[in-house]
Structure 1
Amino acid sequence: MKIEYRRLTEKELNTFIDMRIKQLREEGAKEDIDLVPALKQYYIRHMGDGTFVSWLAFDGDRIIGTSGISFVEKPPYFGCPSGKIGLLSSMFTDPDYRRKSIAKELLTRVVHDAKEYGCGTVQITASDMGVKLYSNFGFVPNKNFMQYKLS
């Protein structure tokens, strides 16, 4: 098995979105809306302006792993003087291909992209399944992360 890694383009976007939905379902998300149109609009807009990048893992023509990182900016702070932050998302590997270092390779590539963009930090809300991958990579928990839902 030879895995090939390539950047996401609009050509793969429908498959990428299908895999994102699978990931959300696997993580236990409740589906009460059709998320596909909003995802498509988001990815097209942010791929276009360079604030979202993704690497895909292929086995032949089949996408077997995805990654994504969105670049956001907030006022600089001591822990991140650039104010630029990478928000990881869409880290997903087909169940038949797990435990083969595919996710680690995808993570390495998007973290490299974050460095190139000038990010001072990368953040993720990790699924239970992903905690070991991120911990081994060097991510540390932030116990004060909180969220307030507006709708």
Structure 2
Amino acid sequence: MTLEEATEAFGKGFTYTRSFTHPYEWTRVGKLLVMRDAARNSGDYRVEEIVILGIAPEEAVAAIRDYAPKKFAISVLLHPDQPEGQIKDAYKAHGFRLLRREPMMILEPTAQAVPQTNYSLRRVLGQEDADAIARVTGHRAILPEDIHQGDAKLRLYAAFDDCRPVAWVRSVDSGPGIRWVSNMFVQEDHRRKGIARALMTHMLNEDHSFGAKWSVLLASQAGAQLYPHLGYRQIGLLQLFAPKKDRWP
């Protein structure tokens, strides 16, 4: 898998999970890849995310000014051999501030033994479990049409302490044989107990059983320590920038 293919999986997976309340598009605008709200009849437009891949900072900034989005952030995808510091400095010179950096990682799923845990691990196949997770997160993590046996556009997995969800992760269809890993999260008082590793393994086993050839994700600082133990390897790096208000009114 190439970084370009992994970026496409990111765009398709991320926009699907953002489309629960209103369609969120993955599209190309000139040289830019853009994630944005589809046309609205009412309500405010959400922040656009502009994805930069394969073009120099000066060229990207010129394209952004031509596009003239109102509310936006930019995600710059770098190959491992690109000079991270120089590119960061170039965007800072153009009026952007770095919010965070996240490794982009890929894995070819295979069947693995699920580590033992004291928690109940399961795929969400009923509305009761889905509602329990929604009460904790404050929003829906899965649509009703994806709650069924067999493969689905989005599959939601969770770890439960009795009936209370304490961790969850989603696997999203992002193209033939490709799954995007969305929102791996463990509640703070249940961390460092092996839940994330067990839950990810459980999900990846089902990805494999349904024919997935690749799993793609962006890693948080904590995730970057965990995912290599599951077999993930880094294919690129995402730098997330926000425009400074005094430079980008």
Change (3 A) 1:132 1:138: same
Q: Indicate the structure whose relative CO is greater, using CA pairs within 8 Å and at least 6 residues apart.
A: 2
Q: Which residue of 1 aligns with 2:159?
A: 57
RMSD: 2.5
Q: Which residue of 1 aligns with 2:146?
A: 46
**TM-score of the two chains, using structure 2 as the length reference:** 0.43
Structure with higher strand content = 2
> Which of 134, 141, 159 matches 1:17?
134
Which residues of structure 1 form unaligned runs of 5+?
22-35, 74-82
Q: For this pair of structures, how many residues does the alignment match?
A: 121
Which residues of structure 2 form unaligned runs of 5+?
1-116, 241-249
1:13: how far off? Answer: 1.8
**Aligned ranges 1:2-151 → 2 under 5 Å:** 2-8=118-124, 9-20=126-137, 36=139, 39=140, 43-48=143-148, 50-73=152-175, 83-143=176-236
1:5: how far off? Answer: 1.4
**TM-score of the two chains, using structure 1 as the length reference:** 0.68
Contact 2:171 2:203 in 1 (8 A): yes
Structure with higher helix content = 1
Q: Which residue of 2 aligns with 1:31?
A: none
Find the aligned partners of 2:137 and 2:216 in 1 and give their Cα distance.
18
Larger Rg: 2
1:144: how far off? Answer: 6.6
